[in-house]
Amino acid sequence: MKKYKMNKEKSVELLNEAIADELRALHQYMYFHFHCDDKGYDLLADLFKKTAIEEMQHVELLAERVLFLGGDVEMTVGEKVTQEQNVGKMLDKAKTMEEESYEMYNDFARQCNDNNDSASKRLFEQLVDDEERHFDQYDLEEDNMQKYGDNYLALQSIERSKTYSSGQPGGVQGGGQ
């Protein structure tokens, strides 16, 4: 009878590489959030912040799997934050990052399958779904920017101004949520 043995070290290596990728996204999206929030682009600021929080949750799932397999979690950020303040370029960077992630996670799922690690495979498949959804969200915002240009951003700033001037809750004077 053939023995089916998982290579835990290989799975841990892939999971830690994914953690580095997720930490990179988390840092990048928070950077984008801070700058969009500072400019009053609440919709985009919230999108970047919510996505960063999801990426943090991905780190947690990946880290739990690493520990289950007996490995150690490497909290190494995959890449330095790109300091970009142009919203169109932010969205393009976000789309590129998400595409790279879902392509990498598809490959990692295949490798985990070949490695007899079905639980890690399912985790990577879940991440593929999430990263593709993020890509779609950024793609939609990029389409809005192309359709409406600077008016799209101006409308977001006007909404914040209306909220502040009416005394309604929902924003903190000077930026931030």
Name every residue whose Cβ is closer than 8 Å to that of residue 102 and which is 6 or more positions away in sequence: 127, 128, 131, 132, 135
CA distances to 65, 74, 135, 159, 172 from 16, in Å: 10, 6, 22, 41, 37
User: pLDDT (tens digit, 9 = 90+) per residue, 144-175?
Assistant: 999 988 888 887 777 666 565 666 655 444 44
Q: Report the alpha-carbon distance of residue 87 to residue 94 in Å, rounded.
A: 10
- pTM metric for this prediction: 0.86
Show the domains of the chain with their CATH numbers. Answer: 8-154 (1.20.1260.10)
User: pLDDT (tens digit, 9 = 90+) per residue, 56-87?
Assistant: 999 999 999 999 999 999 999 988 999 999 99
